[in-house]
Amino acid sequence: MAAVLTAEATNVGVEPIVHDGVDALSRDRLFWVEQNYLRAQTLSRANARLVDYHMRLPLVQAWGGGELASADGLRFITPIRTLNSGPNPKYFGTRRRGVTFYNFLSDQFSGLHGILIPGTQRDSFYILDGLLEQETALRPVEITSDTHGSSEIVFGLFRLLGYQFSPRLADSGSATLYRADADADYGPLNPLTRDKVNIKQITSHWDDVLRVAGSLHSGTIKASEVLRVLAPGGKPTPTGKAIMEIGRLDRSAYLSSYFTDELLRRRINTQLNRQESRHNLARKIFHGQKGELRQSYREGQEDQLGALGLMLNIVILWNTVYMQKIIAEMRAEGIHVRDEDIARLSPLKFAHINFHGRYSFALPSEVQGGQLRSTRKPETAGTTI
């Protein structure tokens, strides 16, 4: 399974992995494993096991408590004919098509979930899908994204389901703040709160709003499907308008904090920067065939990008385990390691990883019993590990 996972995640295919002298790496065996074990359900369960183990490591607690997550899209060109792709000149060029791997990252650096989107549809449609579908033990209550995901109806759905939506807003200075009471005195905010929320719209459709929330919470319908129903063609239905009014209230409260709380803005930027670093690592891993996705069908695309997501978490877990070991060894030698420096470490570094060359799946005797490899010691000052 490790060989097939490597073949898919690196995008090199099975052929370079084949070793006729080893039964487990024969062509027939590898294709049999790929057909029978590499699918969305098994990848999702394996990913959940990895994340659950990773979150219990002591070092991970210095990075975050798992309450915050981010969502962002990783774009892939699809040079072959496939219905499950779409055009977007900004990302794929004027004559090419592609897909988006919309993935979710916790503040502990572990990937929670990934969703395949044809082309570059509205990413905001899928933010809640990722939170509600992910199978790990982590339960983030706040999620951040870039500006493109910050519609009022998304704010409303997040509030209904008990989540905090905290996007990074590039144009927040021109945003409108809404008030619930036309006569309330908000002091310096009075000039900014010119528009009033339509409370009657919310109360008159409250039962339908609750039905939407209940359907999402129970998994009866996906959030991405609800958003299309609530605002078909960009024109919200009466229930959609009610949820938008709730979203206007929540967005106004969030903007008030976003304007004034530097720590909030810094925390959001830090999490989104972590996501960008994860994308850089993903590009390094998915290096075969010029980094293009060449699966013809949706299921194949989902399986391959699911393998990539699992491999990303494997690298993150491996880095975390050995970073934790190195810190423990340094402290045992009397070297002072500050907690604030540990909080700034990242398991997304990859300079020590050779992504090219031959792949070996033989387990070294040093680690066959479950023990870790010996760490390297710098022999002279300035030598990096």
- Are residues 153 and 240 in contact, defined by beta-carbon separation less than 8 angstroms? yes
In a domain, 99, yes or no: yes
In a domain, 368, yes or no: no
How high is the pLDDT of residue 90? 83
Dump pLDDT digits (tens) for 330-384.
999 999 999 999 999 999 999 989 998 888 888 888 888 888 888 887 664 444 4
In a domain, 234, yes or no: yes
Tokens 């109360």 found at: 203
How high is the pLDDT of residue 149? 59
Mean pLDDT estimate for the chain: 89
Helix (H, G, I), strand (E, B) or coil at 113: strand
**H/E stretch holding 165:** strand 164-165
In a domain, 313, yes or no: no
In a domain, 328, yes or no: no
How high is the pLDDT of residue 202? 95
In a domain, 38, yes or no: no
pLDDT at 76 over 90: yes
In a domain, 309, yes or no: no
Q: How many domains does the chain have?
A: 1
- Are residues 112 and 69 in contact, defined by beta-carbon separation less than 8 angstroms? yes
Count Cβ atoms below 10 Å from residue 16 Cβ, excluding itself.
Answer: 13
Q: What is each CA distance from 146 to 165, 166, 222, 332, in whole angstroms?
A: 11, 9, 21, 42
Dump pLDDT digits (tens) for 293-311.
999 999 999 999 999 999 9
DSSP notation for 11-29: T--SGGG--TTSGGGSHHH
Distance CA 261, CA 255 (A): 10
How high is the pLDDT of residue 173? 57
How high is the pLDDT of residue 207? 97
Q: What is the mean pLDDT of residues 217-233?
A: 89
Q: Please state the separation of Cα 331 from the chain's center in Å.
A: 33
All residues at 6 or more sequence positions from 41 whose CB lies less than 8 Å from its CB, including other chains: none
Give the predicted TM-score (pTM) of the model. Answer: 0.90
Structural tokens at position 122 = 């509205």
In a domain, 355, yes or no: no
C-alpha atoms less than 13 angstroms from C-alpha of 87 in its C-beta half-sphere: 5
List the Cα angle 185/189/191 in 5-degree steps: 95
Helix (H, G, I), strand (E, B) or coil at 217: helix
Q: What is each CA distance from 33 to 28, 123, 271, 296, 330, in whole angstroms?
A: 9, 33, 36, 20, 42
Residue 209 belongs to domain spanning: 62-290
Q: What is each CA distance from 376 to 21, 328, 348, in whole angstroms?
A: 33, 14, 19
How high is the pLDDT of residue 379? 61
